[in-house]
């Protein structure tokens, strides 16, 4: 295997994208995503990457360029965050309905207002109905690996894939990264060959109107395509493990085998939460941790299996769904449980908004509060954790 | 039984609802949106062809006698032809339900 090198995660992600031999990159700079596309534009300008870098006037245009380029059979990349993702919004739904294998990195950042550049998941959570495959990285190595995997998954499923990295806490830190070598990557990621694409020698129409007599059928077909991506994602991860020894699962677990109380979280905060699990385990508490790596398609079966026999589950959301029945993850977890026979008490915390620190002590506190839920049902569907009264 | 109003099964759609057969929109008859249809009075018509030129859907064509007649499979009943006709030879007639 390759040796580990110290890299800023954004730079490492850009280099992984370059390794995937993309044809077209279109992006607009926005904090904390900028280093990724800045480095890619450098690689193109220096002649190290043979790709078209299309500078655009907005993120709406960036995704439009990617949609057009992908429709011609090009391998494309874009990246954004926060307001940029919101500016892409209408095109997100178009990209997935047109079944275009676009890969996008979202350097997760809170959305205005109030204006903020710091990390939480409020940007991507607004797009959870957009029909994209959505993956969440925990650390720099995973971010890089998810790029390789995202292209393979996108191109096998003909669906766009969003790779989510926590802004700053992942994008701007230097981590030891092991790249996979180019020869191995060639085996893992064959050149993109689209069966149907825009080609004047063989004309087709992409983007026809969905009259009432066909819209429902189009949405059903799209839904089935996303559902069918699930086994393809699992295969992509099995194959990746075979080539690199690095194992990936839709739901990662930590000390879940005999856990009676667990927390569920997404993204880089899970590493902090692991320390809280270690601390409480030393004290003899049977606690565990769950992390969704795959958020769309929702890993229903793996989630239900992974919760084992927990009696109380604390869901840590990193976004607010104002006056809903929970945070975005909390809502879906409760709904997923309702479809199963398992009925742990669910406590829903909304924490770490706009880069506010969530420390090991905070996670210990959340574990304690989840324990309390065993005795007493939580009064509210969700609470904004750590808010100053 | 719920009504099945779909044009075709979702399983038969090409990925992304792509249309693989070019130019097939001609098969999609849009004339049923119409509530008024144009009726030509050949006594008044001078075959100037302004209806043919100005029809936004291009549904007018010249017949063997040189009159311009609309293809009602595509005419939406907008009435531009009737309005532009210099001889008032075209009248818009309410479609029967």
Q: Would you say residue A123 has pLDDT above 60?
A: yes
Whether residues B5 and A212 touch (CB distance < 8 A) is answered with yes
Closest chain A residue to B5 measured between Cα atoms?
A: A213
In percent, the amount of chain A with pLDDT more than 70 equals: 99
What confidence tens digit (pLDDT) does each residue in B21-77 have? 888 878 888 888 899 999 999 999 999 999 999 999 999 999 999 999 999 999 999
For residue A253, give the H/E element and its range: strand A251-254
Query: Are the C-beta atoms of residues B80 and B56 closer than 8 Å to each other?
Result: yes
Q: Assign residue A146 a region (left: φ > 0; alpha: ψ between -120 and 50; beta: otherwise).
A: alpha
- Set of chain A residues whose Cβ sits within 8 Å of the Cβ of B8: 214, 217
Whether residues A221 and B8 touch (CB distance < 8 A) is answered with no
For chain A, the residues whose C-beta falls within 8 A of a C-beta of chain B are 97-100, 158, 195-196, 203-206, 208, 210-214, 216-218, 220-221, 224-225
Q: How far apart, in whole angstroms, are the C-alpha atoms of residue B74 and residue B58? A: 9
Closest chain B residue to A204 measured between Cα atoms?
A: B20
For residue A265, give the H/E element and its range: strand A261-265
Q: How far apart, in whole angstroms, are the C-alpha atoms of residue A319 and residue A74? A: 34
> How confident is the model at residue B3, as a pLDDT?
60
Interface test with A, best of B5, B8, B10, B16 (most A CBs within 10 A): B16
What confidence tens digit (pLDDT) does each residue in A233-245 have? 999 999 999 999 9
CB pairs under 8 A between A and B: 58
Angle, helices A59-71 vs A89-97, to 10°: value is: 10
Q: Are strands A261-265 and A287-292 parallel, antiparallel or unpaired?
A: parallel
**What value does the mean pLDDT take over residues A104-108?**
98
Q: What is the mean pLDDT of chain A?
A: 97
Whether residues B16 and A206 touch (CB distance < 8 A) is answered with yes
Confidence of residue A264 (pLDDT cuts 50, 70, 90): very high
Give the three-state DSSP class for A261: strand
Fold of B32-94: Alpha-Beta Plaits (3.30.70)
What are the C-alpha distances in Å from A123 to residues A162, A266, A366? 12, 14, 24
Task: Identify which of A75, A73, A65, A70 has the alpha carbon closest to the alpha carbon of residue A19.
Answer: A75
> How confident is the model at residue B4, as a pLDDT?
64
Nearest-Cα distance to chain B for A60, in Å, is: 21
Q: Would you say residue A110 has pLDDT above 70?
A: yes
Domains identified in chain A and CATH numbers? 4-244 (3.40.50.970), 251-384 (3.40.50.920)
Buried b (16+ CB within 10 A) or exposed e, A224-257: ebbeebbebbbebbeebeeebeeebebbbbbbbe
Q: What is the pTM of this model?
A: 0.92
> How confident is the model at residue B1, as a pLDDT?
42
What confidence tens digit (pLDDT) does each residue in A367-383 have? 999 999 999 999 999 99
What confidence tens digit (pLDDT) does each residue in A1-55 have? 568 999 999 999 999 999 999 999 999 999 999 999 999 999 999 999 999 999 9
* ipTM confidence: 0.88
Sign of CA dihedral A60, A62, A63, A65: positive
> How confident is the model at residue B26, as a pLDDT?
80
Give the three-state DSSP class for B49: coil
Q: How far apart, in whole angstroms, are the C-alpha atoms of residue A296 and residue A182? A: 29
Whether residues B15 and A214 touch (CB distance < 8 A) is answered with no
Domains of chain B by residue range: 32-94
Residue A217 is nearest to which of B8, B15, B20, comparing CB atoms? B8
């Amino acid at each position: 295997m390759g040796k580990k090198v110290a890299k800023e995660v954004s730079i490492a992600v850009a280099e992984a994208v370059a390794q995937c031999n993309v044809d077209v990159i279109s992006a607009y700079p926005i904090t904390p995503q900028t280093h990724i596309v800045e480095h890619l534009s450098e690689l193109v300008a220096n002649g190290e990457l043979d790709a078209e870098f299309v500078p655009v006037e907005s993120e709406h245009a960036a995704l439009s360029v990617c949609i057009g380029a992908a429709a011609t059979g090009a391998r494309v990349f874009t990246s954004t965050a926060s307001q940029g993702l919101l500016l892409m919004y209408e095109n997100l739904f178009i990209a997935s309905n047109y079944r275009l294998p676009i890969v996008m990195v979202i350097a997760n950042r809170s959305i205005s207002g109030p204006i903020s550049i710091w990390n939480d998941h409020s940007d991507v959570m607004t797009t959870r109905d957009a029909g994209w495959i959505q993956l969440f990285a925990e650390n720099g190595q995973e971010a890089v690996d998810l790029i390789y995997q995202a292209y393979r998954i996108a191109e096998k499923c003909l669906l766009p894939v969003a790779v989510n990295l926590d802004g700053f806490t992942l994008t701007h830190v230097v981590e030891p990264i092991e790249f996979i070598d180019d020869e191995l990557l060639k085996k893992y990621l064959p050149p993109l060959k689209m069966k149907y694409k825009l080609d004047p020698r063989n004309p087709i129409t992409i983007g026809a109107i969905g009259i009432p007599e066909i819209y429902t059928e189009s949405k059903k077909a799209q839904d089935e395509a996303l559902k069918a991506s699930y086994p393809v994602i699992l295969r992509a991860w099995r194959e990746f493990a075979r080539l690199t020894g690095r194992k990936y699962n839709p739901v990662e677990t930590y000390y879940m085998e005999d856990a009676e109380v667990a927390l569920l979280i997404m993204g880089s905060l899970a590493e902090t939460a692991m320390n809280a699990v270690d601390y409480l385990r030393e004290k003899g508490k049977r606690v565990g941790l769950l992390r969704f790596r795959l958020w769309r398609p929702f890993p229903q079966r793996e989630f239900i299996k992974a919760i084992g026999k927990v009696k109380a589950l604390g869901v840590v959301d990193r976004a607010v769904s104002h006056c809903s029945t929970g945070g975005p993850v909390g809502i879906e977890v409760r709904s997923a449980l309702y479809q199963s026979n398992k009925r742990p008490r669910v406590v829903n915390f909304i924490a770490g908004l706009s880069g506010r620190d969530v420390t090991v002590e905070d996670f210990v506190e959340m574990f304690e509060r989840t324990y309390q839920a065993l005795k007493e049902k939580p009064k509210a569907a969700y609470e904004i954790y750590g808010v100053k009264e | 039984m719920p009504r099945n109003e779909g044009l075709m099964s979702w399983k038969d759609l090409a990925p992304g609802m792509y249309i693989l057969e070019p130019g097939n929109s001609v098969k999609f008859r849009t004339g049923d949106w119409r509530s008024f249809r144009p009726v030509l009075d050949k006594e008044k018509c001078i075959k100037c062809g302004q209806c043919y030129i100005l029809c936004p859907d291009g549904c007018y064509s010249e017949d063997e006698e040189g009159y311009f007649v609309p293809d009602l499979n595509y005419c939406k009943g907008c009435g531009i032809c009737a309005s532009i006709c210099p001889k008032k030879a075209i009248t818009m007639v309410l479609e029967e339900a």
